[in-house]
Chain A
């Protein structure tokens, strides 16, 4: 199925969870925060199964003023 991750379309397997999506990008869950369809999702909801067309934002901290 196709989802959007950080603005880019991606093909992922049906049944992919948020945890799996984070792992697929070699990211550490502790160092990212996640939005699903423009709403923050907390770590305890990372087992949520993604659906076609979902829009995921994976963010972290960068230098800023």
Chain B
């Protein structure tokens, strides 16, 4: 049976969301996306280049029948700008007839250096975008209380960061991510939580999934790997491994060893006995 999860009216068949930024070229991007097995890909909204506009655009390199596009509001530092960008992204996707027109990956950032989210702006923008009919997937820090406020503002999914965007530092505070999961899913076990940002390598994805995240969104970890397509395969397996381990249920951590082989019947001398 396929492992599907749901974000409002989006049924997601693959829990890995992959970004389209920072690849050496579009062919490398296409190979990596294909290798990752992802269904959801993120894109950014930017000014069209008015000089040299003959160049082919991202839209020419994405199979829009295969992928659900998740437009982001990256680069926005106020709720107002994030709303403008969301509306533009929706308009573009409606023109393509892509289902992604209904949702947005909301980023309201605090500053250019850390790219950490501004919680107040994120909450304001979430409220407005929900009124505009968007399914809002809100990028946030790993602060559990902010995550709850954003859910209360109407976000269809909260996406806490493992570590700063593009930093490759992985899941820096697993305790906070697990608290986000616990609080967001309290009495609402199917509420989707996606760990977004910071993934540096495959094990980071596994850790996020083992904690109980519904999915992982990443970009740089694949795009800037030496071999992006190979890393995409690694990420895919890492996600599956983490999901399976979560479902299977890990053992409790213990202070001391517990022997796997019985002591009964040993012929050896046991110190202290």
User: Which residues in A have some Cβ–Cβ distance to B below 8 Å?
Assistant: 5-8, 25-27, 29-35, 38, 40, 42-43, 57-65
A61 closest partner in B (C-beta):
B43
On chain A, the residues within 8 Å of B50 by CB distance are: 5-6, 8, 25, 58
Q: Is B8 an interface residue (CB 8 A)?
A: no
Assuming A63-B22, A65-B72, A65-B165, is B47 touching A31 (CB within 8 A)? Answer: no
Asked if A60 and B19 make an inter-chain contact with CB atoms under 8 angstroms apart, the answer reads no
Known: A38-B84, A40-B91. A64 touches B48 (CB 8 A): no
Question: Which residues of B have CB within 8 Å of A63?
Answer: 19-23, 29, 43-44, 58
| Contact status A25-B48, CB under 8 Å | yes
Shortest CB–CB separation between residue B240 and chain A, in angstroms? Answer: 21
User: CA of A31 to CA of B58 in the docked complex: distance in angstroms?
Assistant: 10
Listed A/B pairs (24) with beta-carbon separation below 8 Å: A6-B47, A25-B53, A31-B95, A33-B91, A33-B95, A35-B84, A38-B84, A40-B87, A43-B95, A57-B47, A58-B47, A59-B46, A60-B58, A61-B57, A61-B58, A61-B69, A63-B20, A63-B43, A64-B42, A64-B74, A64-B219, A65-B19, A65-B20, A65-B22
Docked-complex contact B42 and A27, CB < 8 angstroms:
no
Please indicate the chain A residues that have their CB under 8 angstroms from the CB of B166 in the complex: 65
Residues of A within 8 A of B209 (CB): none
Chain B interface residues toward A at CB < 8 A: 19-23, 29, 42-48, 50, 53-54, 57-59, 69, 71-72, 74, 84, 87-89, 91-92, 95-96, 165-166, 197, 217-220
Pick the contact of A33: B19, B72, B92 (CB < 8 A). B92
Min Cβ gap B23→A in Å is 7
User: Chain B residues near A8 (CB, 8 Å)?
Assistant: 50
A57–B92 CA distance with the chains assembled, in angstroms = 13
Interface centre among B21, B59, B220 (most CB of A within 10 A): B59
Q: Using Cβ atoms and an 8 Å threshold, which residues of chain A touch B54?
A: 26
Residues of B within 8 A of A25 (CB): 48, 50, 53
A residues within 8 A CB of B89?
A: 33, 61
A7 to B84 alpha-carbon distance, docked (Å): 16
Q: Which of B19, B44, B47 has a CB less than 8 Å from the CB of A7? A: B47
Q: Flag if B47 contacts A65 (CB, 8 Å).
A: no
Min CB–CB distance A64 → chain B (angstroms): 3
Decide if A59 touches B21 in the complex (CB within 8 Å): no
Report how far A7 CA is from B20 CA in the complex, Å.
Answer: 25
CB neighbours (8 Å) of A60 from chain B are 45-46, 48, 57-59, 92
CB neighbours (8 Å) of A42 from chain B are 91
A35, A57, A59 interface centre (most CB from chain B within 10 Å): A59
Within the complex, the shortest CB–CB distance from A45 to chain B, in Å, comes to: 11
Other A-B contacts than A25-B48, A63-B23, A64-B219, 18 sampled, CB-CB below 8 A, are: A6-B50, A38-B84, A40-B84, A40-B88, A58-B48, A59-B45, A59-B48, A60-B57, A61-B43, A61-B92, A62-B57, A63-B20, A63-B29, A63-B44, A64-B44, A64-B74, A65-B42, A65-B165
Other-chain residue from A7, A29, A38, A65 in contact with B219 (beta carbon distance below 8 A) = A65
Chain B residues, Cβ within 8 Å of A61:
43-46, 57-59, 69, 71, 89, 92
